[in-house]
Amino acid sequence: MSRIFKIESFWYDDYYKIYNKDSVEIKPGITNLLSCNGGGKTTLLEQIKHQICKDDSVILLKYSEVSEGRANAMDKYGFLNQFDKLSRNFMSSEGENVLNNFGEFCKKLGGKIKNLDTSKKEVWILLDGIDSGLSVNEIADIPGFLKMVCDDIQEKGLTPYVLIAGNNYELIGEFKESCLDAINLEYLTVNSYEEYRKIIFKSGELKRIRYEEGTKRIEEENEDE
């Protein structure tokens, strides 16, 4: 069953509008959020997360390359005395670090799925920036893995919801009808890279317009003062 969430269009302040609707419907399964950088994908994940956290019937799992990866991952490994992982990340490239950190999350995810609390109704998995620094062939493996995760969750009688905020066409995989325009908050079908490219460029134009409108609001307010 789809879930509907209230969305604040002016999330950060009263000047710069992010979204063109005040609610979003999320379907079960895998949903790819589509927009340019700065187009509202991460903010949409945050707003949904804040509402899910209040629901006792939901299991929430999240991964962000910013908060769980990069230097934060190395700090964590050092704090936990996991020096093998610390040295591995220190000697790895950016893409290898992303794979290492996301791999650690996948292990955690696998353990959670294996021991799911079947008294719950839904499992929400929020993924942000998991394609950062990865090559195309590595990104192409992610949708298939997430499909297996969803299948395992369904076998245990719970409904899976996986939201992906990334910047690569390969993340869509076979889920071409499960793409969400992260500005207009509507589902789209994306059948080709060219269609994906047009959506991203259009979101960039919408982003430019909203910044111009926000700047105009600030200027008008300053004039009134």
Close Cβ partners of 39 (under 8 Å, ≥ 6 residues apart): 182, 183, 203, 204, 206, 207
pLDDT of residue 85: 45
Q: How far is CA 73 from CA 20, 25, 42, 104, 203, in A?
A: 35, 33, 19, 10, 31
pLDDT of residue 76: 45
pLDDT of residue 173: 92
pLDDT of residue 109: 80
Which tokens is 220 given? 């008008």
Q: What is the pLDDT along the chain (225 residues), one digit of tens a residue?
A: 899 999 999 888 778 889 999 999 999 999 999 999 989 999 999 999 999 998 999 999 988 865 554 444 444 444 344 444 444 444 444 545 555 666 677 777 888 888 889 999 999 999 998 887 778 888 888 899 899 899 999 999 999 999 999 999 999 999 999 999 999 999 999 999 999 999 999 999 998 998 898 888 888 878 766
| Distance in angstroms (rounded) separating the CA atoms of residues 33 and 30 | 10
- Whether the CB-CB separation of 54 and 35 falls below 8 Å is answered with no
Question: Helix 94-114 vs helix 83-90: angle between axes, to the nearest 10 degrees?
Answer: 140
pLDDT of residue 200: 96
Q: How many CB atoms lie within 10 A of CB 200?
A: 16
Domains of the chain (ranges; CATH) run 3-131+138-224 (3.40.50)
pLDDT of residue 137: 86
